[in-house]
Structure 1
C-alpha cells in the first residue's frame, strides 16, 4: 500500500541554522557546479497538470499519467539525497510558502486576496520533471478559502525547486539544484539563471537542466536564484532558501 506522506517546507531562519552548526569559517573554494542528465520523464508529453480546484480550504491538483508516490529506484544513488515522497508535486505561493506532497489533494489555508500560484512535478532526487504540459502558473484571487478568480500569469519567471532542508555529510557530496521556468526559454543567448551560494560564489546557468553542487562544507548555506534576460538585466528574483549540511558525528 502506498503510504501518503505530506510535509510543508518553510523558509528556515539563517540564525537558527547557524546555531546548529560549526562556527568555523567555511571554505567554498572546492565547491563545484556540474550539469546532470535529463530524466526520461522529461520527454513524456502525456504527463499533464491540467489545473486545480480550491474550495473550502481543500486544494485538488489535476495530474494525469503520473503515479504520485511511485519510487524511482534508478535515482537512488550513493552520496545523493533521495526524498521518500517518491514522485511528487510542489506548490509555491508567492515564492514564500513551499509545499511538497505525493497526493494531489492538499488541505491548505490560502489567505484572502491576490496570490501568485505555481506548481510543478518532481522526481525523488529533487530534479523537476520537465514534461511540456506539467506545470501551473496563475494569478488567483482567494475569498473565504475558495478561489474566485484564476488567470494565467504571463511573466517570465522561475520557481525554486531544490535543494531544501538538511543533508547528511554523505548526501552533501551531490546536492541537486533545480528550478522550474515559466514563460521563457533558458539558453546562452536567451534567459539565464544566476545561482549564488552564500553570496560568495556564483555561477550562470545557461541551459534548463538540473545541476549538482559538490563538496559543500558542513554548516548552513544560502542558495539564491535570479532570472536574467538576454541583456543580463534581472527580471525575476532573487529567490532564496537556506539549507543545512550536517557535521560528521
Structure 2
C-alpha cells in the first residue's frame, strides 16, 4: 500500500519540477531572444561623414527656362551653368572608395516635389513636367552622391505648368524645408557596408538647441543637429526603411509638406 501511495506523489513532484524547469527555460529563452533583438538593433550606427572636399565656391545657376510659368505640359528644357565645379569628374576623396560611387562622376541632383532625384552629368537636359505647381530643388553632388552645401550650390524654383495649375502641396518656399537625397535605390556587395544619409535643408539651420532632423532607420531613432552627411553602418540585408523629419528644439514637427518623408532601399549580398 505504501508503494501505491508514494509512486503517485513522486510523479507529482517530478511533474511539478519539470513544469517549473520548463517555465524557467522558456523565460530564459525569451530573454535571450529579446537580447538578440536588442543587439540587432544596436548594430545600426549613424556617424558624421568627414573628409570630403568642401567646394565652398561651387555654384549652380539656372539659365533656362527663364520663365517658370509654362502654358503647356510636356518636355521642358533645362540649362544650368556650373561654376567652380566639374561635372563628370571623380571626386578626389577616400570617401569615393568607401561609399557607393558613380562611375560617371560628379553631377546634379534634380528633385521635383521632394520625390527621388534624377542624376544629371551634363548641365543641359529635358524633363517631362505634368500640369500643376511643382517645386524644384537642384544642387551639385559629388561623385558619391554627397550634396555640395553652400548658398550658391542650389537652385530653388516654383514652376507653374499648364493653363490653370493647381498647387496641391501648399509649400511656403520661405519656410524651413527638408529635402531628402540619400540613400536611394538598391545597394549590393561592398556598397551595403556604408550607406550615406544626406539631405538638403532650406531656410533654416540645425543645432543642438534648435531645429534638428530626426532619422528613423528600421525603427531606431537618431537625432541630427548638424547639417552634414552621415554614414549608416550595420544594416541587415533586405529592405531598409528610412524616415527623415524636421523638428524644432522642443521635438515638435515643423509644418511643411516635405518635412517628413519615408523611403525604402534594398540591400543585396
Band of TM-score, shorter chain: 0.7 to 0.9
Contact 1:39 1:129 in 2 (8 A): no
Between the two proteins, the alignment pairs up a number of residues equal to 213
Q: Counting helix residues as a fraction of each chain, which structure ranks higher?
A: 2
- In structure 1, the residue corresponding to 2:104 is in which secondary structure? coil
Deviation, 1:103, is 1.1
Structure 1 gap segments, 5+ residues each: 1-24, 145-151
Aligned to 2:7: none
Contact 1:75 1:125 in 2 (8 A): no
Which of 128, 135, 140 does residue 121 from structure 1 map onto? Answer: 140
Aligned to 2:246: 227
Aligned to 2:265: 243
- In structure 1, the residue corresponding to 2:251 is in which secondary structure? coil
Deviation, 1:246, is 0.2
Contact 1:137 1:182 in 2 (8 A): no
Which of 178, 193, 206 does residue 173 from structure 1 map onto? Answer: 193
Aligned to 1:7: none
Query: Map of 1:75-154 to 2, 5 A cutoff?
Result: 75=94, 77-143=96-162, 153-154=173-174
Aligned to 2:59: 48
Q: Distance in 2 between matches of 1:83 and 1:93?
A: 21
Aligned to 2:89: 70
Aligned to 1:31: 44
**Per the alignment, do residues 192 and 99 of structure 1 end up closer, same or farther by CA in structure 2, a change over 3 Å counting?**
same
Structure 2 gap segments, 5+ residues each: 1-36, 164-171
Q: Distance in 2 between matches of 1:38 and 1:183?
A: 26
Deviation, 1:119, is 1.0
Compare relative contact order (CA 8 Å, sep 6+) and give the higher one, 1 or 2: 1
**Per the alignment, do residues 109 and 174 of structure 1 end up closer, same or farther by CA in structure 2, a change over 3 Å counting?**
same
Deviations 1:112-151 (A, max 9, x none): 221111111111122111133111222221238xxxxxxx
Q: Distance in 2 between matches of 1:224 and 1:234?
A: 13
Contact 1:38 1:210 in 2 (8 A): no
Q: Distance in 2 between matches of 1:52 and 1:178?
A: 26
Contact 1:196 1:225 in 2 (8 A): yes
Q: Pairwise CA RMSD of aligned residues?
A: 2.3
Deviations 1:167-194 (A, max 9, x none): 1232121111011111100111221001
**Per the alignment, do residues 115 and 180 of structure 1 end up closer, same or farther by CA in structure 2, a change over 3 Å counting?**
same
Q: Counting strand residues as a fraction of each chain, which structure ranks higher?
A: 1
Q: Distance in 1 between matches of 2:232 and 2:43?
A: 10
**Which consecutive aligned stretches of 4+ in structure 1 deviate over 6 angstroms post-superposition?**
none
**Per the alignment, do residues 87 and 58 of structure 1 end up closer, same or farther by CA in structure 2, a change over 3 Å counting?**
same
TM-score if structure 1 supplies the norm length? 0.78
Q: Distance in 2 between matches of 1:109 and 1:75?
A: 36
- In structure 1, the residue corresponding to 2:117 is in which secondary structure? strand
Deviations 1:15-74 (A, max 9, x none): xxxxxxxxxx994331110111153234x22x1122342375212223222111111242
TM-score if structure 2 supplies the norm length? 0.72
Contact 2:52 2:95 in 1 (8 A): no
**Mean Cα displacement is larger for which, 48-57 or 91-100?**
48-57
